[in-house]
């Protein structure tokens, strides 16, 4: 009996290792469709069909921004009403936009701390036990148009002391300083959903990432799977944004480039109205 249990455990471990290696190879070999949107900005997209990534179909979009090019990041928001990501982007004369952090679906406004242009726009809506939510323990910090991803240090006023004109709390944190951040095995992290993320690579390129989901064409990912994708993209720091039906990546050149799921159709028309976004603009 003991030998049988050991054999089963070894089989499971070996099968998992083989699957991980297969995923890594498939990710490296996939053909990315690449389009230049502006100097220093390009859009890369890959469609994994035939259940070739994490034993599922996946559609991934990556907007890549090179450092030291005259492009800057900023936050756009609405305190009360909600707008689509494309409305935020086009109304701000942006090159690109991705949906931002979590918000009050009924009343509008972010439930996470946002500072924009040096002014506090939203404070954290804490949990019932007066603790921070999982999406209030990491920050996008934008200073002089450049992005830094920071981790909560445990202090009460941490976010107010961060050095940047624009600050947006979000999460969970996925990677920090080239190390995997701890992820709890709760439903939000383990289940597959459409996902949005921001990341910084080893060579300081900023990535806006969407993974589509809730469709036979693309299953969506757990946060553990999303974190692995960031690893394959050579990211040093990475953080989850609001996802699900909110997941949207828009560009001035092409409009919505992913497949938002809020209308239940595999098209580009299913945007959800959100309270905030991250923009890429030209200096």
| DSSP-assigned letters across all residues of 144-171 | TTEEEEEE--S-TTGGGG-SSSEEEEE-
CA separation (Å) from 34 to 25, 49, 59, 60, 85? Answer: 20, 18, 14, 12, 22
The helices-and-strands tally (H runs, E runs) of the chain is 4, 18
Q: What is the pTM of this model?
A: 0.92
pLDDT, mean over the chain = 94
Q: 168, 101 in Cβ contact below 8 A?
A: yes
pLDDT band at 216 (very low <50, low <70, confident <90, very high): very high
Residue 18, pLDDT score: 58
pLDDT band at 218 (very low <50, low <70, confident <90, very high): very high
- Average of per-residue pLDDT across 153-175: 97
pLDDT band at 91 (very low <50, low <70, confident <90, very high): very high
**Percent residues over pLDDT 70 in the chain:** 93
Nearest C-alpha neighbor of 83 from the set 49, 102, 108: 108
Q: Say how far apart CA 11 and CA 131 lie, in whole Å.
A: 41
Q: Say how far apart CA 244 and CA 238 lie, in whole Å.
A: 18
Break the chain into its structural domains and give their ranges. Answer: 1-30, 33-282
């Amino acid at each position: 009996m003991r030998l049988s249990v050991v054999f089963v455990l070894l089989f499971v471990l070996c099968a998992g290792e083989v699957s991980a290696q297969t995923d890594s190879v498939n990710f490296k070999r996939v053909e990315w469709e690449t389009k230049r949107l502006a100097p220093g900005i390009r859009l890369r997209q890959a469609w994994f069909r035939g259940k070739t990534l994490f034993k599922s179909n996946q559609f991934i979009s990556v907007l890549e921004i090179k450092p030291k090019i005259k492009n800057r990041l900023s936050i756009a928001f609405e305190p009360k009403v909600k707008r689509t990501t494309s409305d935020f982007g086009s109304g701000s004369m942006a090159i690109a936009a991705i949906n931002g952090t979590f918000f009050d679906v009924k009343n509008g406004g972010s439930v996470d701390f946002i500072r924009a242009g040096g002014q506090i726009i939203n404070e954290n809506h804490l949990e019932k036990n007066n603790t921070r939510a999982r999406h209030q323990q990491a920050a996008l910090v934008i200073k002089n148009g450049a992005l830094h991803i920071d981790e909560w240090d445990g202090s009460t006023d941490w976010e107010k002391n961060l050095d940047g004109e624009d600050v947006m709390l979000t999460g969970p944190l996925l990677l920090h300083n080239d190390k995997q951040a701890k992820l709890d095995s709760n439903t939000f992290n383990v289940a597959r959903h459409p996902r949005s993320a921001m990341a910084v690579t080893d060579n300081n390129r900023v990535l806006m990432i969407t993974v589509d989901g809730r469709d036979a064409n693309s299953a969506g990912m757990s946060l553990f799977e999303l974190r692995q994708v960031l690893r394959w993209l050579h990211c040093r720091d990475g953080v989850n944004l609001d996802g699900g039906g909110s997941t949207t990546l828009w560009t001035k050149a092409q409009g919505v480039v992913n497949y938002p799921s809020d209308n239940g159709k595999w098209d580009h028309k299913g945007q959800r109205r959100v309270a905030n976004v991250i923009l890429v603009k030209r200096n």
